[in-house]
Structures are given as C-alpha cells and as structure tokens.
C-alpha cells in the first residue's frame, strides 16, 4: 500500500482507506483491509459504525489511523466535546487521529466550534483537525479561528462521475497542501461494473483501460482518484472480496495517457 502525507503534518497514511458509511460488513472486512495496508479507517458518530471500528482495531490500534466526525447537529462548544468523548468510548481508544466536522452548519457560530476542536487537541484527545463537505469560504472562516492548528483535510465526494471539486476546491487544497479524502470514489458502485454490462461510451473507455492494465474497473477508478497527489480514497465495502479488490488499487500507476483518456471520457 502506497502512503501519502496528511496535509503538512509529516504523518504518512495509506492512500486507500476503509470507509464505513452505510457499512454492514462486521469486523472481518475491516481487519482484512488493515492486514492489506489500508490502515486508515474513516467513520463518524452519525454512521453508527464507531463500535464495529473499535472492535476491528482492538489489539492493532497503534497500527491504525482512525478518522471520525462530529455531526453537523452537534457543533456547539460543549456538544463537540461531548461528541468526542462518546466517540472515544465507542472506538475503545484514548485518542482520535483525525477529528472532522461532518458538515458546516451556520446555526452554530464556527468560532465556538473551532475553539472546541482546538481544545480537544490541547487535551491530547485529538491529533489533527479536519472538515468535511466544506467549500473554500467555509474552510477559510473555520481556519481563521484556529490560531495554533491547521485544518489538514477536507473530506468530499470525488470520483470519475463527480469531478466538481476540480473547479476550485481541489486546486485550493493542492496549493495549501490540504489533503482531500475522497468518499464514494466508486460512485456507489457504478464505476465497478462487471464487463459485459457496459453501455455508455465513457464506461467503455474505463473497461478498455481495465483490460490494458489487467486491473478491475473499480481498481482503475480508485487509482485515477489517487493519481492526484493530494487525494486519498476511502471506498466502502461490506464484503471481503471487494475489500481485497479495493486495496489492490494501490501499488501501481495508470499511465499519463490512460489518465488523460479517462479525463476526456468523463469530462
């Protein structure tokens, strides 16, 4: 598994992690992913999967980078602190590697939210601060209230079928060395179809490159995501076979010509 630096922290993490939104696979696929080097696991209090993640990392916590999120409904100062404590308990750990704000909510003063996030780092309960589903203005406002710490990541939707972040958010984060955590890199499975079920021209290009590389279509789609330096992909799978396949998206590279063909086909 290839590694990438998280923001400008000097900490190297897996370029393909394990997502747990709508996850129902139990402990085994997560443990297999960890075994294969996908040692980044992303969860959230709103996913209701922190307990299974905690079970999966038991005994190997020191090898795993845990990212979780405070709900956008719990962004008051005291609520952030309470949510973090509850996540720590469910995860069975005494620290969270990356604590993220799940989505922006203007109902709560962002100054208050970020003060609580900084307090968690001060107390040693959180190592790094991230956001999710934030646009540039929201990121800049949130950062303005963090005097001692940097926002190291933004978790957003990104895949071949949804490249909207390329307009402004991705260049902004690349310039500032902020990591993009790409959720749904397989577009809810639409980019991992089996050969013979392909109808659209763009999917035929994906299938062609799959054949050229000897990799599954889903592996090509994930590798395309991670071909951008600042992007880490966090696909979700409930099963062992797909988890193994997803992890096999790392350790090789699409050629520049193949990347260009995909960019043009999925433009």
Q: How far apart are CA 162 and CA 231, in angstroms?
A: 14
Q: Which pLDDT score is estimated for 98?
A: 98
**How buried is residue 78: exposed, middle or buried, by Cβ count under 10 Å (0-12/13-18/19+)?**
exposed
What whole-number distance in Å separates Cα of residue 33 and Cα of residue 54? 14
Q: Return the active site residues.
A: 47
Q: What percent of the chain has pLDDT over 70?
A: 98
Tokens representing residue 15 in the block: 């370029």
Per-residue pLDDT tens digits for 80-136? 999 999 999 999 999 999 999 999 999 999 999 999 999 999 999 999 999 999 999
Q: Are 184 and 218 in contact (CB under 8 A)?
A: no
The secondary structure element, H or E, covering residue 264 is helix 256-265
pLDDT in tens, 201-215: 899 999 999 999 999
Rg of the Cα atoms in the chain: 18
CB 6 within 8 A of CB 152: yes
pLDDT score at 193: 74
Six-digit token string for 187:
């577009």
Structure tokens at 247: 């992890």
Predicted pLDDT at 251:
97
pLDDT at 20: 98
> Looking at residue 47, what is its pLDDT?
98
Question: For residue 251, how many other CB atoms are within 10 A of its CB?
Answer: 12
pLDDT of the residue at 166:
98
- Evaluate whether 213 touches 258 at the Cβ level (below 8 Å): yes
Q: What one-character DSSP code corresponds to residue 39?
A: -
Domain 3-192+218-252 CATH (choose: 3.40.50.300, 3.40.50.10140, 3.20.20.100, 3.40.50.720): 3.20.20.100
Q: What is the pLDDT of residue 196?
A: 61
């Amino acid at each position: 598994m290839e590694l990438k630096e998280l923001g400008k922290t000097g900490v190297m993490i897996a370029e393909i992690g394990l997502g747990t939104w709508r996850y129902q696979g139990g402990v085994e696929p997560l443990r297999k992913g960890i075994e294969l080097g996908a040692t980044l696991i992303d969860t959230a209090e709103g996913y209701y999967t922190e307990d299974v993640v905690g079970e999966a990392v038991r005994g190997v916590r020191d090898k795993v980078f845990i990212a979780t999120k405070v709900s956008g409904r719990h962004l008051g100062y005291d609520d952030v602190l309470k949510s973090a404590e509850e996540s720590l308990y469910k995860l069975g750990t005494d620290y969270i590697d990356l604590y993220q704000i799940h989505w922006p909510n203007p109902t709560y003063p962002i100054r208050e939210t970020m003060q609580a996030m900084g307090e968690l780092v001060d107390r040693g309960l959180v190592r790094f601060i991230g956001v999710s589903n934030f646009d540039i203005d929201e990121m800049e406002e949130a950062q303005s209230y963090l005097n001692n710490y940097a926002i190291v990541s933004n978790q957003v939707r990104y895949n071949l079928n949804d490249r909207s972040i390329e307009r402004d958010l991705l260049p902004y984060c690349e310039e500032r060395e902020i990591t993009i955590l790409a959720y749904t890199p397989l577009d809810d499975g639409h980019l991992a179809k089996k050969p013979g079920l392909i109808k659209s021209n763009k999917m035929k290009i994906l299938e062609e490159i799959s054949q050229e590389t000897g990799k599954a279509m889903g592996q090509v789609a994930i590798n395309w995501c991670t071909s951008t330096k600042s992007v880490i992909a966090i696909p979700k799978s409930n099963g062992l076979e797909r988890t193994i396949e997803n992890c096999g998206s790392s350790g090789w590279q699409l050629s520049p010509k193949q990347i260009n063909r995909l960019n043009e086909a999925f433009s």
